[in-house]
Structure 1
Amino acid sequence: MKEYESLDSLFTETTSEFSNSEFKTSAPTPDDGYDYKNVKFDELASLVGRLAQTMVDKYGIEKGDKVAIVGRPHPKWAAAFFAAQRVGAVVVPIAYNFTSEEIRRVLHESESKLAIVQSDKHSVVSEKFNSLSYLENLVVYGGEEEGFKSWDSFLSREEFTDRPPQDPDEVAVLMYTSGTTGHGKGVMLTHKNLLVNVHDIAETLEVTPDDCMVSILPWDHIYGLTTTLLVPLAFGASMVYTVDYRNLPSVLMDNEGTILLGVPKLLNALYEETLEKIKSTWWTRWLYKLSPSLLKSKVKSKLAGDQFRFITSGGAPLNPETAKGLKALGIGVMEGYGLTETSPVLTFTRDPFTDKEGSVGLPLPSVDIKLRETDDKEINEVLVKGPNVMKGYYKNEEKTREVLEEDGWFHTGDSGWLDEDGGLHLNGRTKNVIVLESGNNVYPEEVEHELGRISFIEEVMVKEGRRNGRAVVSAVIYPDYEALEEKGIEEEGYIKTFLWEKIKSESKSLAPYMRIKSKKDIEIIEEPFEKTPTQKVKRYLYKEREEEEEVNSG
């Protein structure tokens, strides 16, 4: 990949080079009703030019202005993104699943001047429109909405050609973090940040124009934006976005997908579903028991097709047993690690079949990693440095100084260690560590891995509890109610007792100090956890709830 000065120069040159290639397709669900369309690179380039001219002529967008986008991956989302880049604006992707108040907060804090919104989200944005002093125009795509300008009614017939000069160190994207520990911060990512990461990822994954990258990742999250929009675009590869998780095998085979980009929850579900199918007939059960490798070709052809290369996993830690199990069945896995502040990818495993499970891989070519002791001498924080590290938090110099040192080292907030090959292993977030009376440190993420493997537990969040003034390991559990009902277990008290017995008998692989010691330390909830786009639990919501309950009870 050659060096580019800006995202616009990347877009312009690659769409010209691969003009007749298919840029993107989408795989709709039967009841979706969304405006899906296959688009070639030259069609997308023309759309970007016309939309850029419209932004300047009709909406007065100038270099440095903020343009917000709310919607799922779609050619028009991509067109809005690159049109804003063409005129020198800063793109503010806003999570599709945000509440109206969260969207209002991001629009206000980012000082967005124009919002381009998918039609089925227009009401969420429009109800806050009049309360936003910076927002001047709201444009809807994907359908007509009364009182708001639709995409087709305003698009210019002319293409924008008067490109402003752009510096690689200028901010290209203002990406708000998902916020697992509180309200997200606006992360300023420059053209250089993103372009360097695109180059490193593509080089590591060996992406070519022959690849078709299938993804469930939204572009309003940095993992999705970089890996499933910018990377395939840079190399003329095609990309398929789907929300139809249950029919992934058919999506992969129908589109000749070569790489599946996902998160641990998806990989866990694929592995469990594959095992269920294997166990459904006596002869596949027998072959699997004899050696899983005997089923490799059959599983791969049924699950993804012979052209398939591997699955990538990121956004959260992957259970090592899932990775090991998929590899044994012929499905390669490449695990990575990163953060919004690092554009995002920092590490990737290098071989989809032979790399050791549990490691999130080696640093990308442009990334340096070191460990530093925290105040607690037993905890080493992961620090990183490289041209992919953010410029800073938007209008928040204090928070920027807390995480970004003057010499460029960024504090990830993650605890980890390096193996003899330089592979990074993560323990968990330093701020989530439970420090017990014994002096032992418990990382909730490690306990969650084990408890999450127990049947009848759908989701689990491990946290610090208090009993008799002492810190203890506790868990909030969302059970698999459907499975429990099939077993005839429906009464709330019985559910808790049943799960407690399962936890006691099936957590013996954990060190004794890491185990939950009492049924009193388990809480059962009726609804799934609120999560970020990469399926991380928003822990802060439960901490706020506990603090509120404590105040009310006091």
Structure 2
Amino acid sequence: MIQENFIKIYEKSFQENWDLPALTDYVEQNTMTFADVAKEIARFHILFKECQIRRGDKIALIGRDCANWCVVYMAAITYGAIIVPILPDFNPNDVHHIINHSESVFLFVSDRIWDTLEEEKIGEVRAVFSLTDFRCLHQRDGENIQKLLKELDSRFTEVYPNGFTRENIRYAELDNDKVLLLNYTSGTTGFSKGVMLTGNNLAGNVTYARTLDILFRGERELCFLPLAHAYSCAFNFLVPMAFGAHVFLLGKLPSPKILLKAFEEIKPNLILTVPLILEKIYKKMIAPQLNKRAMKLAMNVPLLNDRIYAQINKKLTDAMGGRFREVIVGGAAMNQEVADFLYKIKFPYTIGYGMTECGPLISYDNHKEYIPTSCGQILKGIMEVRIDSEDPYNKVGEIQVRGENVMKGYYKNEEATRNVFTDDGWLKTGDLGTIDVNNRIYIRGRSKTMILSSNGQNIYPEEIEAKLNNLPFVLESLIVEREGKLVGLVYPDYDMVDNTGIRHDDLPAIMEQNRKDLNKLLAPYEAITSIVLYPTEFEKTPKKSIKRYLYENY
């Protein structure tokens, strides 16, 4: 058990960082200090008490990232309620299901998403509140919550007649073994389960982050990944709020253009991203330079290429604000060509590994210790790892973990909980890989996506896709099995096609040449027999992994 109590971490942080900026909505440029956040939390605690919300009651939360989202999350857990964050791009039926399955009694929702929901389908919810201004959008028959909300200012004055000060901050006395968070996964398998995370699981992530020296009190971080996802929530919100750092919430789609402008203005000290975003910045900023004839010639000159690499590194670093210690990449596999190039130019990035069921962190290396193709060492003193293989250093097997960060189980789903743990208590990650002598993890693919060839060879489609994505005019791809043969589904890079003047009618011939070039890079049993052009981008999860199950029968 982690020694430090998770809820008390924030009681102490709000007291110590009272005057510092805590949260800023980037678009509106509204900033809340830690004092402002603490006062809003106190108001909600009064409301929860007046509404007779009990310890362990569930409070659902859905909407775009914003300061109010963070306030509701923090108010719920510090009261002793269980927060149920829901990803804003879930369809309405899934949202209804999660609210009902979690038995949520309150719902905080953006106005736009509320317009897509039907109150009669969430009949057990006592009240619905707007994330814009916390007004009551709906209350169940017989409730007087709208009236209580109108009286909240006077009740606040009654409770704190001398004003609310840092000395008034007192949060729930709750042991770390209690569930504080129900996080519904949105994996690539299409089945959503409610992950029960305790104070101990979350404290394991936050206290470990404190040992890494990558973010400090008063520093800045830009959040552009959805906070309802465990990776972003832990390191774009819970960690900075525990440290006294200042989080800027982008609150809009993170296109390279928007992100680079925000990086320039905010100059964050730590950057968390998913591979797709870093890959898009690489394609936009770096790839066009590398493809110029003069650049290709210059990079063949030994002493000159080092200077060129240093210049590219500086240009990329400056474009991302110039003050960050490290870029942490997680959430999905990264394109190997991009990863290798960034490593070659000494760009300070590292690739970590985690899953919602571990709140999320499993392994990590500082960028100075990062080894290409790995995703870091298992968290020392926090987690353990083993490979379900007779030779874990050389022969691929399922990655299994146990330790402080591992969830309590899936909510109201004993069968799924039993199936995800081994008989001796290790969590089965569903990922395949190896380890080295330092317990550094190397992932090869997902056990559910691995294809067994006709001659018994294991084929990892993600590895083939990484090579295919590097070929001309391929934006993204999927390798699928059709009648015992491998086929590549490709969504072309139409922007690049149009910019180079190539006709769309020429794409089949280009892709056939890509197929031949790709097969030269593969073992015979991995060879693909055809490439099929796909008309739209593949549908993705919030962490930008393709929802593979949607395309199994395409």
Give the TM-score category using the shorter length. Answer: 0.7 to 0.9
- Alpha-carbon distance between aligned partners in 2 of 1:107 and 1:228, rounded to the nearest angstrom: 25
Would the alpha carbon gap of residues 40 and 155 (structure 1) be closer, same or farther in structure 2, given more than 3 Å must change?
farther
> Given residue 259 of structure 1, which amino acid in structure 2 is its aligned partner?
L
- Alpha-carbon distance between aligned partners in 2 of 1:155 and 1:94, rounded to the nearest angstrom: 29
> In structure 1, what is the equivalent of residue 183 of structure 2?
175
State the secondary structure of the residue aligned to 2:48. Answer: helix
Matches within 5 A, 1:517-528: 518-519=529-530, 522-528=531-537
Normalised TM-score (structure 1): 0.87
Unmatched 5+ stretches in structure 2: 140-145, 160-167
> In structure 1, what is the equivalent of residue 142 of structure 2?
none
Matched, 1:472 2:485: yes
> Given residue 40 of structure 2, which amino acid in structure 1 is its aligned partner?
L
- Alpha-carbon distance between aligned partners in 1 of 2:195 and 2:205, rounded to the nearest angstrom: 15
> Given residue 249 of structure 1, which amino acid in structure 2 is its aligned partner?
L
- Offset at residue 221 of structure 1 (A): 0.5
> In structure 2, what is the equivalent of residue 237 of structure 1?
245
Would the alpha carbon gap of residues 472 and 283 (structure 1) be closer, same or farther in structure 2, given more than 3 Å must change?
closer
> Given residue 98 of structure 2, which amino acid in structure 1 is its aligned partner?
V
Would the alpha carbon gap of residues 482 and 193 (structure 1) be closer, same or farther in structure 2, given more than 3 Å must change?
same
- Alpha-carbon distance between aligned partners in 2 of 1:119 and 1:327, rounded to the nearest angstrom: 43
What percent of counterpart residues are identical? Answer: 28
Select 2:44's aligned residue among 51, 55, 71: 51
- Alpha-carbon distance between aligned partners in 2 of 1:442 and 1:237, rounded to the nearest angstrom: 44
- Alpha-carbon distance between aligned partners in 2 of 1:389 and 1:146, rounded to the nearest angstrom: 36
> Given residue 405 of structure 1, which amino acid in structure 2 is its aligned partner?
T
Matched, 1:156 2:152: yes
Matches within 5 A, 1:73-112: 73-112=65-104
State the secondary structure of the residue aligned to 1:92. Answer: strand
Residues 311, 334 of structure 1: 8 Å contact kept: yes
- Alpha-carbon distance between aligned partners in 2 of 1:233 and 1:151, rounded to the nearest angstrom: 32
> In structure 2, what is the equivalent of residue 549 of structure 1?
none
Select 2:377's aligned residue among 350, 362, 365: 362
> In structure 2, what is the equivalent of residue 4 of structure 1?
4
- Offset at residue 165 of structure 1 (A): 3.3
Matched, 1:481 2:500: no
> Given residue 441 of structure 2, which amino acid in structure 1 is its aligned partner?
L
State the secondary structure of the residue aligned to 1:477. Answer: strand
> Given residue 400 of structure 2, which amino acid in structure 1 is its aligned partner?
L
- Offset at residue 11 of structure 1 (A): 1.6
- Alpha-carbon distance between aligned partners in 2 of 1:270 and 1:198, rounded to the nearest angstrom: 29
Question: Deviations along 1:447-471, whole A, 9 cap, x unmatched?
Answer: 11111112311121122221xxxx2
State the secondary structure of the residue aligned to 1:422. Answer: coil
Would the alpha carbon gap of residues 298 and 390 (structure 1) be closer, same or farther in structure 2, given more than 3 Å must change?
closer
Residues 129, 137 of structure 2: 8 Å contact kept: no
- Alpha-carbon distance between aligned partners in 2 of 1:430 and 1:320, rounded to the nearest angstrom: 20
Matched, 1:18 2:17: yes
State the secondary structure of the residue aligned to 1:478. Answer: strand
Question: Deviations along 1:479-527, whole A, 9 cap, x unmatched?
Answer: 12233344555556x53332122232245322232221x22xx332212
- Offset at residue 64 of structure 1 (A): 1.1
Would the alpha carbon gap of residues 84 and 260 (structure 1) be closer, same or farther in structure 2, given more than 3 Å must change?
same
> In structure 2, what is the equivalent of residue 67 of structure 1?
59
> Given residue 309 of structure 1, which amino acid in structure 2 is its aligned partner?
R
- Alpha-carbon distance between aligned partners in 2 of 1:507 and 1:56, rounded to the nearest angstrom: 65
State the secondary structure of the residue aligned to 2:373. Answer: coil
- Alpha-carbon distance between aligned partners in 2 of 1:491 and 1:504, rounded to the nearest angstrom: 20
Select 1:136's aligned residue among 126, 142, 145: 126
Normalised TM-score (structure 2): 0.87
State the secondary structure of the residue aligned to 2:60. Answer: strand
- Offset at residue 472 of structure 1 (A): 2.1
Question: Deviations along 1:368-393, whole A, 9 cap, x unmatched?
Answer: 0011139xx96411110101100000
- Alpha-carbon distance between aligned partners in 1 of 2:422 and 2:26, rounded to the nearest angstrom: 44
Residues 414, 430 of structure 1: 8 Å contact kept: yes
Number of aligned positions between the proteins: 523
> In structure 1, what is the equivalent of residue 364 of structure 2?
348
State the secondary structure of the residue aligned to 1:455. Answer: coil
Residues 204, 364 of structure 1: 8 Å contact kept: no
Select 1:254's aligned residue among 259, 265, 276: 265
Residues 313, 347 of structure 2: 8 Å contact kept: no
- Alpha-carbon distance between aligned partners in 2 of 1:163 and 1:294, rounded to the nearest angstrom: 49
Question: Deviations along 1:52-103, whole A, 9 cap, x unmatched?
Answer: 211332x432111110000122111111011111221110000011111111
Unmatched 5+ stretches in structure 1: 29-34, 547-554
- Alpha-carbon distance between aligned partners in 1 of 2:147 and 2:406, rounded to the nearest angstrom: 35
Question: Deviations along 1:290-333, whole A, 9 cap, x unmatched?
Answer: 31433156315532244221211000112233223224434211
> In structure 2, what is the equivalent of residue 552 of structure 1?
none
State the secondary structure of the residue aligned to 2:152. Answer: coil
> Given residue 525 of structure 1, which amino acid in structure 2 is its aligned partner?
Y
> Given residue 16 of structure 2, which amino acid in structure 1 is its aligned partner?
E
- Alpha-carbon distance between aligned partners in 1 of 2:235 and 2:151, rounded to the nearest angstrom: 29
Residues 478, 490 of structure 2: 8 Å contact kept: yes
Select 1:448's aligned residue among 458, 461, 465: 465
- Offset at residue 146 of structure 1 (A): 9.8
Would the alpha carbon gap of residues 255 and 474 (structure 1) be closer, same or farther in structure 2, given more than 3 Å must change?
same
> Given residue 248 of structure 1, which amino acid in structure 2 is its aligned partner?
L
- Offset at residue 16 of structure 1 (A): 1.0
- Offset at residue 140 of structure 1 (A): 0.8
State the secondary structure of the residue aligned to 2:412. Answer: coil
Q: Which moved more, 1:86-95 or 1:503-512?
A: 503-512
Question: Deviations along 1:208-240, whole A, 9 cap, x unmatched?
Answer: 115322232111111111111111111111222
> Given residue 381 of structure 1, which amino acid in structure 2 is its aligned partner?
E
Residues 287, 294 of structure 1: 8 Å contact kept: no
Q: Which moved more, 1:19-28 or 1:530-539?
A: 19-28
> In structure 1, what is the equivalent of residue 32 of structure 2?
39
Residues 63, 89 of structure 1: 8 Å contact kept: yes
What value does the CA root-mean-square deviation take over the aligned residues? 2.8
- Offset at residue 198 of structure 1 (A): 1.4
Residues 339, 345 of structure 1: 8 Å contact kept: yes
Residues 128, 137 of structure 2: 8 Å contact kept: no
Would the alpha carbon gap of residues 391 and 334 (structure 1) be closer, same or farther in structure 2, given more than 3 Å must change?
same
Residues 204, 348 of structure 1: 8 Å contact kept: no
- Alpha-carbon distance between aligned partners in 1 of 2:174 and 2:22, rounded to the nearest angstrom: 25
- Offset at residue 281 of structure 1 (A): 8.4
Matches within 5 A, 1:74-473: 74-125=66-117, 128-142=118-132, 148=138, 154=150, 156-157=152-153, 158=156, 164-204=172-212, 206-242=214-250, 243-245=253-255, 246-276=257-287, 278-279=289-290, 290-291=304-305, 292-295=308-311, 298-300=314-316, 302-350=318-366, 352-353=367-368, 355-365=370-380, 366-373=382-389, 379-405=396-422, 407-466=424-483, 471-473=484-486
Residues 401, 429 of structure 2: 8 Å contact kept: yes
Residues 196, 410 of structure 2: 8 Å contact kept: yes
Would the alpha carbon gap of residues 297 and 410 (structure 1) be closer, same or farther in structure 2, given more than 3 Å must change?
closer
> Given residue 266 of structure 1, which amino acid in structure 2 is its aligned partner?
I
Residues 56, 80 of structure 2: 8 Å contact kept: yes
Q: Which moved more, 1:317-326 or 1:273-282?
A: 273-282
Would the alpha carbon gap of residues 146 and 393 (structure 1) be closer, same or farther in structure 2, given more than 3 Å must change?
closer
Matches within 5 A, 1:521-536: 522-536=531-545
